[in-house]
């Protein structure tokens, strides 16, 4: 079995007051809590982890801390994608240097690029990374550049160190297209919580999920039941994930998840600007919603 499988939370980065600095102690405590609940890996400094809101040096410091703190207990994928190739290569090489298991690389953002530019971009990074495993990361709703299946197929054929893709398009058709890409060490990971069961049925190996920061056991039980061919039980946990998503999947999802950590009595922290704190009314509504779902005592 590939080492890139199962439940991989898109790790929240917990910041000190007003997002001034990374709160390493609180983030480490969250990591320990997630590992105790059976997750298989961590995806560090991605969209949920507010990586695009950090400096290159902050991202390096966070990657170093997580790899050292995890100490081999689970797989660590460090997100190294930036808006430009220079910083992406620097962070990718750094992820390899510190002993991460792989780097995840989102498509460049802001400028809209054609297929040739995207192919050249990823090829340059793959060559610079040597044999270090790389995961493509497709989330076009945020970056505006889509890693179409033919682009991915070409990259996979050309570069053996491109070992998988995290697909956050929210499209079951796209998951199916990626699943048709054949190579022994190529892994499709689902980045859309509400499609996880369907993705596993298509051949995806696991989930990189923001919501898994707060309900990791839901994802673990879904995946474990699926592996035991108990699709009915897996569907029950998929439905629970979708139900909770009704509370969390909003433009303020990251502050909402951090508020949920607080309500659960877990380590939490601020988010970084331009994200904002939840209002009193939003916090109250979240508390009430979680109690209605019996997620709070």
Pick the catalytic residue from 47, 80, 207, 209: 47
Pick the catalytic residue from 60, 80, 166, 271: 166
Pick the catalytic residue from 110, 111, 157, 160: 110
Pairing of strands 102-106, 134-138: parallel
CA–CA separation, 248 and 101 (whole Å):
29
Pick the catalytic residue from 121, 122, 137, 178: 137
- Bridge partners of 270, per DSSP, are 15
Q: What are the Cα distances from residue 260, in Å, to 37, 41, 76?
A: 17, 21, 24
CA 220-70-82 angle, 5° bins? 90
Helix axes 115-128, 149-158, angle to 10 degrees: 30
CA–CA separation, 164 and 185 (whole Å):
8
CA–CA separation, 115 and 151 (whole Å):
7
**Spatial contact of 76 and 42, defined as CB atoms under 8 Å apart:** yes
- Establish whether 110 is a catalytic residue: yes
- Establish whether 137 is a catalytic residue: yes
> Catalytic amino acids?
47, 110, 137, 166
């Amino acid at each position: 079995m590939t080492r890139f499988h199962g439940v991989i939370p898109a790790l929240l980065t917990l910041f000190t007051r007003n997002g001034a600095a990374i709160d390493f102690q609180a983030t480490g405590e969250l990591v320990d809590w997630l590992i105790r609940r059976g997750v298989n890996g961590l995806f560090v400094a991605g969209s949920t982890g507010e990586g695009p809101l950090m400096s290159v040096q902050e991202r390096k410091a966070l990657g170093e801390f997580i790899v050292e703190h995890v100490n081999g207990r689970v797989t660590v994928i460090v997100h190294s994608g930036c808006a430009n190739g220079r910083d992406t290569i620097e962070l990718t090489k750094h992820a390899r240097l510190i002993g991460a298991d792989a780097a995840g690389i989102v498509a460049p953002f802001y400028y809209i690029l054609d297929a040739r530019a995207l192919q050249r971009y990823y090829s340059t990074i793959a060559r610079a990374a040597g044999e270090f495993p790389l995961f493509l990361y497709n989330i076009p709703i945020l970056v505006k550049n889509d890693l179409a299946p033919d682009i991915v197929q070409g990259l996979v054929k050309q570069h053996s160190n491109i070992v998988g893709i995290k697909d956050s398009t929210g499209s079951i058709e796209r998951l199916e297209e990626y699943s048709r890409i054949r190579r022994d060490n190529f892994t499709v990971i689902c980045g859309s919580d509400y499609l996880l069961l369907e993705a596993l049925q298509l051949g995806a190996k696991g989930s990189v999920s923001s919501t898994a920061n707060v309900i990791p056991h839901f994802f673990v039980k879904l995946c474990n039941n699926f592996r035991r061919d108990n699709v009915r039980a897996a569907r029950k946990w998929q439905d629970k994930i979708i139900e909770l998503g009704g509370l969390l999947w909003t433009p303020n999802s990251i502050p909402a998840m951090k508020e949920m950590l607080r309500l659960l009595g877990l380590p939490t922290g601020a988010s970084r600007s331009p994200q904002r704190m939840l209002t009193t009314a939003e916090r109250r509504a979240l508390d009430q919603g979680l109690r209605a779902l019996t997620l709070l005592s």
